[in-house]
Amino acid sequence: MTQLFLNIDPSLVDWSRAQFALTAMFHWIFVPITLGILFIIAIMETIYVKTGDEEWKRITKFWMKLFGINFAVGVATGLILEFEFGTNWSNYSWFVGDIFGAPLAIEGIMAFFMETIFIAVMFFGWNKVSKKFHLTATWLTALGANLSALWILVANAWMQYPAGMEFNPDTARNEMVNFWQVLFSPVAINKFLHTVTSGYTLASLFVIGVSSYFILRKRELLLAKRSIVIASVFGIISISALIFTGHGSAVEVSKHQPMKLAAMEGLYQGGENAEFIGIGILNPKKTFDNNEDPFLFKIGFKGVLSYLINFDTKTFIPGINDLVYGNPERGVPSFEERKMKGTLAMNSLIKYKEAKEIGNMEEANLQLEILKANFNHIGYSYVEKPEDIIPHVPMIFYSFHIMVFLGFLFVLIFLVYGWLTLKNKIDKIKWGKPLYILGIISIPLAFIATEAGWIVAEVGRQPWIIQDLMTVGAGVTKISSTAVQTTFWIFSFIFTALLITEVSIMIKFIKQGPSNSAIK
Amino acid sequence: MEYLKEIISLGMWPVLIYIAYRLSLLALKYFHKNLEKTEKL
């Protein structure tokens, strides 16, 4: 079985990864706006229903129009993403379909249906249903979109921390034994909250950015200011929760994916009083097996990483070398040790099947015990060299630090915009122009930050498709890499065309501004 | 309650949205007060 997977063409794995990454990254351009702007719209519409002020209806309808353009493309890329589990990752889907399928099915049946049903009322129900019914539909669309995110993120979290399952040696599949453990896994809950709040932050910056354009052009000032008030309040609350859940995610990563945490901080030699790197340039010559300094330049804070993980500077944080060579004093097993256990688990699975086939139940039970004892390392049987368990450190390190840096810049943007708008000075300050331009630029910056976050999460868990249980190479569908290359370029072309179309339509609608005929 | 911490964390999500809504109302009130003042000036 191991040999079968090792025979897979590495370029097939790379192209399949590239195709999935491409689809996921394009999908994630459209989703976060949807997640956040729906709640902003719902808040605006609630104010309209409560006050009866028609200007609020006009504001609500304007943002709803921008949301609508974005939503359609988000659905298109999302569907392709889900199909790729079958087309490109069929070995993975077969191995864990009994677990992974459940949250995906709930997402489709419950959340997505809920979202799509009420979105119809939201768009076409103005003046056809009562104000309160329409408002309910808007809130339910927002809830549906976010619940949809919950289920797909539960599925993703399971890949990072497989919980609530048992391996069935007869079918060689993992089966769900505890649904609640899958749903309420701490990794899943943190991931959900961190991801949706990143969407809320991005949507708030989107509203601020578009409103800045209006202020810059001295148009639609009341709409722009009211929108900024809502977006800066929503944004500051969201980003506070984002920082809080980001910390929670890092704590979970330290427990279940220590290699990812080490890569995030470029930490090769672990220890107590571990340093948090504020700014750093990695040494490109550094590898796990040489003595080069990991950094060419750094500004670090001693003990902060240990403190952040466990509120104690004495907390030991394993580095890349600890995880490769092991650290017996700290109970960190080496790669060789885990590979030995993984190979033992894989061999015992083969022997179990052979013994069962000839009816030797005593031998089968013995092999089953060995398999169970070593199952948590089974993925290591696919890995050949120690360096294969180390993800791409520079990509993770820089992505993580860009995300954190931008996150703090966004806090400042929300505070400055919020304060100046509350004081009604936003369109009157002398240094307004650079501020409005910063507001507009914050839209692409928010996309960079959120995509960087996903790079940390997904590149950081390489080589695993399921942490410690299955490598990405073992999960791939064995098809010709040329076929995957072909679809990769087709998808690249289609997605780019979709993105250009969406951005052009959005810019056109933004330039057009809210329609006065919206008030009916 | 094995999953109490996670349930509470998840329960904080609608609470955050509600807080954002209430604070938005307060902020708008303050903004409109300043808007009226500035216009009078």
| pLDDT tens per residue, range A246-285 | 999 999 999 999 999 999 999 999 999 999 999 999 999 9
Report chain A residues whose CB lies below 8 A from the CB of B3. Answer: 180, 184
CB-CB: which of B3, B10, B23 is closest to A180? B3
CA distance to partner chain B, nearest, from residue A464 (Å): 25
Q: Which residues 332-391 of A are in CB contact (within 8 Å) with B?
A: none
Per-residue pLDDT band for A7 (boundaries 50, 70, 90) equals low
Over residues A357-378, the pLDDT tens digits come to: 898 889 999 999 999 999 999 9
**Which two tokens mark B11?**
């329960």
In DSSP terms, A332 is beta-bridged to A327
Q: Which residues 5-34 of B are in CB contact (within 8 Å) with A?
A: 5-7, 9-10, 12-13, 16-17, 19-21, 23-25, 27-28, 30-31, 34
Residue B41, pLDDT above cutoff 60: no
Q: Which of A357-371, A392-406, A481-495 has the highest mean pLDDT?
A: A392-406
What is the Cα A432 distance to its own chain's centre?
A: 34
CA distance to partner chain A, nearest, from residue B30 (Å): 6
Q: Say if residue A463 is preceded by a cis peptide, omega within 30 of 0.
A: yes
- Tell me how far CA of residue A479 lies from CA of A4, A90, A158, A470, in angstroms: 13, 10, 26, 19
In DSSP terms, A167 is beta-bridged to A174
Asked if A110 is an interface residue toward chain B (Cβ–Cβ < 8 A), one would say no
Q: Which residues 251-280 of A are in CB contact (within 8 Å) with B?
A: none
Q: Using the 8-state DSSP alphabet, how is residue A164 labeled?
A: S
CA distance to partner chain A, nearest, from residue B1 (Å): 12
- Tell me how far CA of residue A490 lies from CA of A333, A497, A501, in angstroms: 44, 11, 16
Residue A395, pLDDT above cutoff 90: yes
For residue A238, the chain B residue with the least C-alpha distance is B16
Encoded amino acid at A111, one letter: A
Give, rounded to a whole angstrom, the gap between the first and last alpha carbons of chain A: 67
Q: Say if residue A103 is preceded by a cis peptide, omega within 30 of 0.
A: no
Over residues A46-79, the pLDDT tens digits come to: 999 999 999 999 999 999 999 988 887 777 777 8
Per-residue pLDDT band for A519 (boundaries 50, 70, 90) equals very low
Name the average pLDDT for chain B. 88
- Long-range pairs for A313-317 at CB < 8 Å and ≥24 separation? A313/A272, A313/A273, A314/A272, A314/A273, A315/A272, A315/A274, A316/A270, A316/A271, A316/A272, A316/A274, A317/A254, A317/A258, A317/A261, A317/A262, A317/A267, A317/A270, A317/A271, A317/A272, A317/A274
Q: Give the best residue of A53, A56, A63, A423 to mutate against chain B (max B CB count within 10 A).
A: A423
Over residues A181-224, the pLDDT tens digits come to: 988 999 999 999 999 999 999 999 999 999 999 999 999 999 99
Stronger pLDDT, A237 or A151, i.e. the higher one: A237
The continuous run of DSSP H or E covering A33 comes out as helix A10-51
pLDDT > 70: percent of chain A: 97
**A226 to B31: CB separation less than 8 angstroms, yes or no:** yes
**Which two tokens mark A356?**
């069962």
Return the HEC string of A396-437. Answer: HHHHHHHHHHHHHHHHHHHHHHHHHHHCCCCCCCCCHHHHHH
Over residues A106-115, the pLDDT tens digits come to: 877 776 777 7
CA distance to partner chain B, nearest, from residue A44 (Å): 9
- How far apart (Å, rounded) are the C-alpha atoms in residues A30 and A440? 17
- How far apart (Å, rounded) are the C-alpha atoms in residues A469 and A430? 59
**Which two tokens mark A371?**
């398999």
Half-sphere exposure of A230 (CA within 13 A, CB side): 29
Residue A514 DSSP SS3: coil
Residue with token string 């009078």: B40
CB-CB: which of B13, B28, B34 is closest to A226? B28
pLDDT > 90: percent of chain A: 69
- How far apart (Å, rounded) are the C-alpha atoms in residues A362 and A355? 8
Over residues A131-184, the pLDDT tens digits come to: 999 999 999 999 988 988 898 899 899 999 998 888 888 888 888 888 999 889
**B34 to A422: CB separation less than 8 angstroms, yes or no:** yes
Q: Which residues 121-160 of A are in CB contact (within 8 Å) with B?
A: 146
Contacts of A404 (CB under 8 A, 6+ apart): none
**A237 to B23: CB separation less than 8 angstroms, yes or no:** yes
**Which two tokens mark A178?**
């505890």
Span A318-336, mean pLDDT?
93
Encoded amino acid at A127, one letter: N
pLDDT of residue A299: 93
pLDDT of residue B39: 67
Residue A380, pLDDT above cutoff 70: yes
pLDDT of residue A516: 59
Name the average pLDDT for chain A. 90
Pair A456, A264: CB distance under 8 Å: yes
Residue A284 DSSP SS3: coil
Residue A2, pLDDT above cutoff 50: no
The continuous run of DSSP H or E covering B3 comes out as none
pLDDT of residue A85: 86
For the question of an ipTM over 0.95, the answer is no
Q: Give the best residue of A240, A424, A429 to mutate against chain B (max B CB count within 10 A).
A: A424
**A233 to B27: CB separation less than 8 angstroms, yes or no:** yes
Residue A165 DSSP SS3: strand
**A189 to B20: CB separation less than 8 angstroms, yes or no:** no
Kind of pairing, strands A295-301 and A464-466? unpaired
Pair A507, A42: CB distance under 8 Å: no
Residue A4, pLDDT above cutoff 80: no
Span A332-354, mean pLDDT?
94
Residue A109, burial from CB neighbour count under 10 angstroms (0-12, 13-18, 19+): exposed
Contacts of A101 (CB under 8 A, 6+ apart): A93
B4-40 vs A10-51: helix crossing angle, rounded to 10:
50
- How far apart (Å, rounded) are the C-alpha atoms in residues A76 and A26? 10
**Which two tokens mark A165?**
């399952």
A130-A136-A137 Cα angle (round to 5): 90
User: Per-residue b/e over A424-449, b at no fewer than 16 CB within 10 Å?
Assistant: bebbeeeebeebbebbbebbebbbeb
Write phi, then psi, for A175 (nearest 5 degrees). -120, 145
Q: Using the 8-state DSSP alphabet, how is residue A460 labeled?
A: T
pLDDT > 70: percent of chain B: 90
pLDDT of residue A1: 46
**A193 to B9: CB separation less than 8 angstroms, yes or no:** yes
Residue A168: count other Cβ atoms within 10 Å of its Cβ: 11
Residue with token string 């810049």: A409
Encoded amino acid at A466, one letter: I
Q: Give the best residue of A184, A185, A414 to mutate against chain B (max B CB count within 10 A).
A: A184
Contacts of A144 (CB under 8 A, 6+ apart): A111, A112, A113, A114, A115, A116, A118
For residue A194, the chain B residue with the least C-alpha distance is B13
Q: Tell me the count of A-B CB pairs closer than 8 A.
A: 72
The continuous run of DSSP H or E covering A175 comes out as strand A173-176
